[in-house]
């Protein structure tokens, strides 16, 4: 007889639901027990999937139909004869379920303090994985809460030179400038009455040390290491890398790459001592993105010879919980490099469930903060949207996949499967759903709904159309954005009869030029005005404007209209400078004919003039605005003299953020 392949016993029974007893926070003996109903005739062998040696990328960790991974949800009390109320133990990892108890789920022990559990989790994750247990309990008090995208903090203007070949920094692609665990200010729009707080972001920070190599056995310097990484990334990123310019560096010499349109840039730094540090915020995109980045870093370290430092994380019994002292890397011994950081623990464990738990814990805390803000009358709340820009929308909160209303918010707090639709990359697989998530992120955050005006916009529209055409045959039953797909197709003017026929079938007849008054609102935040936040100042501009940002200024516009904005903190003799004093120093050259502005909050001076220096005479507004301790300079150029009123109104609308 041939020996059987290693397997384990699986129980294929329909769990019996048992009502939870009462609403107490302590489980007593008199609560209803659960008897063991396992029937030997229903036992069957389930082939075991291979052990996970490390975090695998999409497509690497497949399990054949009928197989199952070996981490089945069995625990607590195998004999089923102890207290039987299924609840989340306070401070411990959660279990699935709500007001019912399912057999073979973990049980609360006698006299344990518990919290009520949430509902079961997502049903459409990777083929061999499921969401581990619904909503998490709230994070520990030392972690603070949440993640509503806040306002930018102002910095002083300086004349720092830009690095050679460094691309302009996009207004919606600014990376975090603090350590991953540093609390970030959160707030709503001014005047809403919502109090600020702090957010613990989920950010991977991998720290590695390159070894000696080559005939001379030397440690490579920073330029060599970054060059090796630059060459490795296009193939190593498995097609997720877009818009990367080889050799491009930031003003401080780092590499920044974007792997998803909803993601902040991943920042890669190196030193001449051979140390490499990679920082990647993952919460705006989702747990699938988190595991992809962790896998990418694993392979980068293995193939480029940069071993990563161990994680500064709690023991396995507390996944996703990082204390402030641990997260800061303070646990490293003197003389040793700081530890790597991943608040979920997934970068070290290679376990997708850790990424899911961490992201769900963050998301629940964020949604609770949004709900609390709405109950206090807050409007214009943003959840994990790109920093430096606020959108105009109808609803309770803006997300990277569009606004959500209060009814959705209540459903999301009750069911994480509803909440998770704010993430464009939930599962590990890079399949049709992943491609659709990329497209929807672009449509909501990046597309200007007019004909492209330069090569950058043309390339973006071409990429979206090509991705949709490639993704649709993979899963035609998904909710494809037919109306927006056809709109972009027509704006680009492509001659493709096959795609035209597909869009006519999918989108149906055009109603009033493409808008259906009875249907959902069209996709795209840039269909309406947006508010740019830069260096402590906020300025509303048309959503059709392009925008770029450097450390000194924001510039944006479209054909015939362009704006440049700079801001700074102001001080004199160690005290905040008054608005009048600032204007005396920077706006005196405007002369007696300067236009004055004072609305009780902001004071300003400006001059309307013509500028023939470019060879084509254009009108310009050179303006300055100030409040106590902060000043701004703005330049508005217009090709059409009839736009002078718009230009002056735009300057007057500049407000402190």
pLDDT band with cut points at 50, 70 and 90 for residue 70 = very low
Strand boundaries in 216-297, DSSP class E: 255-257, 266-270, 275-281
Percent of the chain with pLDDT over 90: 53
pTM of the model: 0.70
Q: Which domain holds residue 86?
A: 1-117
Domain boundary among 404, 422, 447: 447
Q: Is the pLDDT of residue 541 over 80?
A: yes
Neighbours of 589 (CB within 10 A): 8
Q: Which two tokens stand for residue 338?
A: 């700081």
pLDDT band with cut points at 50, 70 and 90 for residue 58 = very low
What average pLDDT does this structure show over 261-289?
A: 95
Same domain flag for 326 and 388: yes
Model confidence over 209-232: pLDDT tens digits? 998 888 888 999 999 999 999 999
Q: What is the pLDDT of residue 31?
A: 43
Same domain flag for 152 and 243: yes
Same domain flag for 176 and 100: no
Residue 48: closest CA among 22, 23, 25, 66:
66
Determine phi and psi for 455, rounding to 5 degrees: -65, -30
Domain-located, residue 129:
no
User: Torsion angle, CA of 57/62/68/72, rounded to 10 degrees?
Assistant: 0
Domain-located, residue 123:
no
Same domain flag for 103 and 187: no
Same domain flag for 182 and 277: yes
The DSSP code sequence of 160-206 is PPPPTTPPPBPTT-PPP-S-TTS-EEE--STTS----EEE---EEEE
Q: What is the pLDDT of residue 516?
A: 58
Same domain flag for 546 and 564: yes
User: What's the rounded Cα separation, in Å, for the pair 93 and 131?
Assistant: 13
Q: Which two tokens stand for residue 167?
A: 């691309």
Same domain flag for 14 and 108: yes
Q: Is the pLDDT of residue 610 over 50?
A: yes
Which residues have a Cβ under 8 Å from the Cβ of 493 and sit 6 or more positions away? none
CA 430 to chain centre: 18
The DSSP code sequence of 457-485 is HHHHHHHHHHHHHHHGGG-TTS---HHHH
Q: What is the pLDDT of residue 106?
A: 42
Q: Which two tokens stand for residue 196?
A: 């600020």
Same domain flag for 409 and 429: yes
User: What's the rounded Cα separation, in Å, for the pair 31 and 108?
Assistant: 11
Number of domains in the chain: 4
Give a three-class secondary structure readout of 592-606: CCCEEEECCCCEEEE
Same domain flag for 200 and 231: yes
């Amino acid at each position: 007889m041939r020996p059987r392949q290693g397997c384990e016993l699986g129980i294929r029974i329909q769990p019996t639901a048992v009502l939870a007893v009462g609403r107490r926070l302590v489980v007593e003996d008199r609560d209803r027990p659960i008897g063991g109903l396992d029937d030997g005739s229903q036992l069957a062998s389930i082939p075991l999937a291979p052990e996970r040696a490390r975090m695998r990328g999409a497509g690497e960790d497949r399990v054949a139909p009928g197989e199952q991974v070996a981490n089945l949800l069995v625990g607590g009390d195998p004999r089923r004869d102890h207290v039987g109320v299924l609840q989340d133990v306070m401070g411990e990892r959660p279990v699935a379920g709500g007001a019912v108890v399912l057999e073979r789920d973990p049980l609360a022990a006698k006299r344990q303090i518990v919290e009520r559990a949430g509902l079961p989790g997502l049903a459409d994750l990777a083929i061999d994985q499921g969401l581990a247990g619904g909503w998490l309990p709230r994070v520990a008090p030392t972690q603070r809460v949440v993640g509503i995208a806040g306002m930018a903090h102002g910095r002083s203007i300086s004349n720092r030179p830009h690095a050679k070949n460094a691309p302009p920094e996009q207004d919606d692609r600014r990376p975090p400038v603090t350590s991953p665990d540093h609390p970030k200010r959160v707030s709503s729009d001014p005047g809403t009455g919502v109090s600020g707080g702090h957010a613990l972001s989920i950010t991977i920070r991998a720290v590695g040390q390159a070894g000696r190599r080559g005939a001379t056995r030397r440690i490579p310097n920073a330029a060599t290491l970054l060059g090796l990484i630059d060459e490795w990334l296009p193939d190593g990123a498995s097609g997720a890398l877009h818009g990367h310019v080889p050799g491009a560096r930031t003003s401080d010499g780092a590499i920044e790459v974007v792997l998803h349109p909803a993601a902040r840039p991943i920042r890669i730094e190196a030193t001449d001592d051979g140390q490499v540090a990679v920082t990647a915020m993952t919460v705006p995109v989702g747990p699938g993105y988190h595991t992809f980045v962790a896998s990418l870093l694993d392979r980068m370290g293995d193939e480029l010879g940069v071993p990563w430092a161990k994680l500064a994380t709690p023991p396995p019994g507390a996944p996703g919980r990082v204390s402030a002292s641990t997260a800061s890397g303070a646990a490293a011994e003197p003389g040793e490099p700081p530890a790597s950081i991943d608040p979920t623990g997934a970068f070290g464990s290679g376990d997708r469930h850790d990424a899911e738990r961490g992201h769900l814990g963050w998301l629940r805390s964020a949604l609770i903060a949004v709900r609390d803000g709405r109950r206090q009358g807050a409007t214009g709340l943003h959840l994990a949207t790109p920093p430096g820009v606020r959108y105009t929308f109808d609803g309770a909160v803006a997300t990277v996949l569009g606004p959500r209303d209060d009814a959705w918010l209540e459903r999301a707090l009750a069911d994480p499967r509803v909440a998770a639709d704010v993430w464009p990359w939930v599962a590990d697989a890079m399949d049709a759903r992943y491609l659709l998530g990329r497209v929807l992120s672009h449509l909501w955050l990046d597309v200007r709904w007019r004909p492209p005006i330069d090569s950058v916009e043309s390339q973006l529209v071409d990429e979206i159309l090509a991705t949709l055409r490639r993704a649709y045959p993979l899963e035609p039953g998904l909710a494809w954005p037919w109306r927006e797909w056809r709109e972009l197709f027509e704006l680009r003017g492509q001659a493709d009869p096959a795609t035209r026929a597909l869009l006519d079938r999918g989108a149906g007849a055009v109603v009033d030029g493409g808008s259906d008054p009875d249907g959902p609102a069209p996709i795209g935040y840039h269909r309406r005005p947006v508010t740019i936040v830069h260096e402590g100042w906020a300025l509303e501009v048309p959503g059709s404007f392009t925008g770029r940002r450097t450390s000194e200024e924001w510039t944006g516009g479209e054909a015939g209209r362009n704006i440049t904005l700079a801001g700074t903190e102001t001080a004199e003799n160690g005290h905040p400078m008054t608005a009048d004093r600032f204007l005396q120093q920077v706006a005196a050259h405007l002369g007696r004919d300067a236009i004055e502005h004072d609305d009780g909050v902001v004071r300003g001076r400006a001059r309307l003039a013509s500028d023939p220096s470019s060879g084509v005479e254009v009108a310009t507004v050179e303006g300055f605005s100030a409040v106590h301790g902060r000043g701004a300079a703005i330049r508005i150029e217009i090709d059409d003299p009839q736009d002078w009123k718009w230009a002056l109104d735009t300057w007057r609308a500049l407000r402190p953020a």
